[in-house]
A = this chain, B = another copy of it.
């Protein structure tokens, strides 16, 4: 934003409201009026701060993607031990996503709707990702883990972390869980998922 906007916190209020609405309903299902209502302002003011729906969405998506990607990676920035890194990553992911359980599904949904346009937003944690892959590669050559492709391990780890959030409505229904039970399940997984992974890869 090059414009000055010497505002009264309004832009932040709008963004926060938009975030809630977009994450709940998705770009296609979200309504500008609903965002305005949730922010407690006039609809025209949305267009004053963010020219159109697309730009408002991008403002929201950028922050959300950062939250899911770069933010998480920083959790294990300087861990030299792979097992320790895995534990930290999983714990950071679970705890962070418990605050916004719809985030993983939202990201997946929107990336699927407009891969070309949103591609740029998810490149943030790239360096940390590379570091993780190297950590796996080292452990592999060192022989402290079995022979597994680093990328594959990463995908598996992400899968075990993200899926319960993506599939939450199914899980809660099938297992007859309420929100609190879901939360407990995630907190349990914070412990069991790293164990599950490490059991599988330990040499």
What is A's interface to B at a CB cutoff of 8 Å? 25-29, 102, 105, 107-109, 111-113, 115, 119, 122, 126, 129, 146, 148, 151-152, 155-156, 158-160, 162-164, 166-175, 188-189, 192-193, 196-197, 199-201
Lowest 6 CB-CB distances: which A-B pairs, in order?
A159-B163, A28-B29, A200-B200, A111-B169, A28-B28, A115-B169
Task: Provide the residues of chain B in CB contact with A27, threshold 8 Å.
Answer: 29
22 contacts between A and B (CB under 8 A): A25-B113, A26-B113, A28-B28, A29-B29, A102-B112, A105-B112, A107-B170, A108-B166, A111-B167, A115-B169, A115-B173, A126-B174, A129-B174, A152-B188, A152-B192, A156-B193, A159-B164, A160-B160, A163-B166, A166-B166, A199-B199, A199-B200
| Known interface pairs A26-B28, A105-B112, A112-B105; A163-B170 also in contact (CB < 8 Å) | no
- Of B109, B160, B162, which one neighbours A26 at CB under 8 angstroms? B109
**Cβ A122 vs Cβ B29 within 8 A:** no
**Cβ A108 vs Cβ B160 within 8 A:** no
**Cβ A29 vs Cβ B113 within 8 A:** yes
**Cβ B105 vs Cβ A170 within 8 A:** no
Output the least CB separation between A106 and chain B (Å).
9
**Cβ B156 vs Cβ A167 within 8 A:** no
Main SS of the interface on chain A? helix
Looking across the interface, which residue of chain B has its beta carbon closest to that of A108? Answer: B166
Residue of A29, A151, A159, A172 with most chain B CB atoms under a 10 A cut-off = A159
Task: Provide the residues of chain B in CB contact with A111, threshold 8 Å.
Answer: 167, 169-170
Output the least CB separation between A5 and chain B (Å).
31
Could you list 19 further interchain pairs (A-B, Cβ under 8 angstroms) beyond the known A105-B109, A152-B192? A25-B113, A28-B28, A28-B29, A102-B112, A112-B168, A115-B172, A129-B174, A146-B199, A148-B196, A152-B189, A156-B160, A156-B196, A159-B159, A159-B162, A159-B164, A159-B167, A160-B160, A196-B200, A199-B199
